[in-house]
Amino acid sequence: MGVFTYDYESTSSVAPVRLFKAFTIEAAKVWPTAAPNAVKSVEVEANPSSGSIVKITFVEGLPFQYMKHQIGGHDENNFSYSYDLIEGGPLGDKLEKISYENKFEAAADGGSICKSSMKFYTVGDNVITEDEIKALIKGSEGVYKPVEAYLLANPESCN
């Protein structure tokens, strides 16, 4: 097994607290509403806390039917969270899991700087390329961008 790390940063005009809530605490409600062309449902095993399993079911026609995440932890004071993608989605037979550490930091304009660190755990001698990682990030924007647009259009959501 190999481990490949990739760091990614993006900006948003949405405040960190709202993005944090939309991607953690309120994801089950927000994602299917904000991204109905991508997300059919988000089911949380219990409350979204450390160790819980989250199943995301995608609409028909997308490359993946579902993904399962195991929550590592949430830090509401620092707007950070971690989880492992443990089943479904882009794992296929090449990846054992993908670990994510995400943090939303305040930007000078009132928006956010979104910092992500990803660790790709490959099966056997498989290697994941930077192009494959960029394709996965682009695919995740199918949820991220609609959630961001939803928050901008609904200022009362995730406050």
Which pLDDT band holds residue 48 (cuts at 50, 70, 90)?
A: low
pLDDT in tens, 68-90: 999 999 999 999 999 999 999 89
- pTM attached to this predicted model: 0.91
95-106 and 112-122 strand pairing: antiparallel
Reference 113, options 8, 6, 5; nearest CA is 8
pLDDT at site 140: 86
Beta bridge partners, 97, equal: 121
How many angstroms separate the CA atoms of 14 and 152, rounded? 7
Q: List CB contacts of 2: < 8 A, sequence separation 6 or more.
A: 121, 122, 125, 126, 127
Q: Which of 5-14, 80-89, 106-115, 131-140 has the lowest average pLDDT?
A: 131-140
pLDDT in tens, 117-135: 999 999 999 999 999 999 8
Which pLDDT band holds residue 47 (cuts at 50, 70, 90)?
A: low
DSSP letter (8 states) at residue 120: E
Q: List CB contacts of 138: < 8 A, sequence separation 6 or more.
A: none
pLDDT at site 44: 86
Render the burial of 56-94: b for 16+ CB within 10 Å, e for the rest: bebeeeeeeeebbbbbeebeeeebbbbbbbbebbbbeee
How many angstroms separate the CA atoms of 60 and 40, rounded? 9
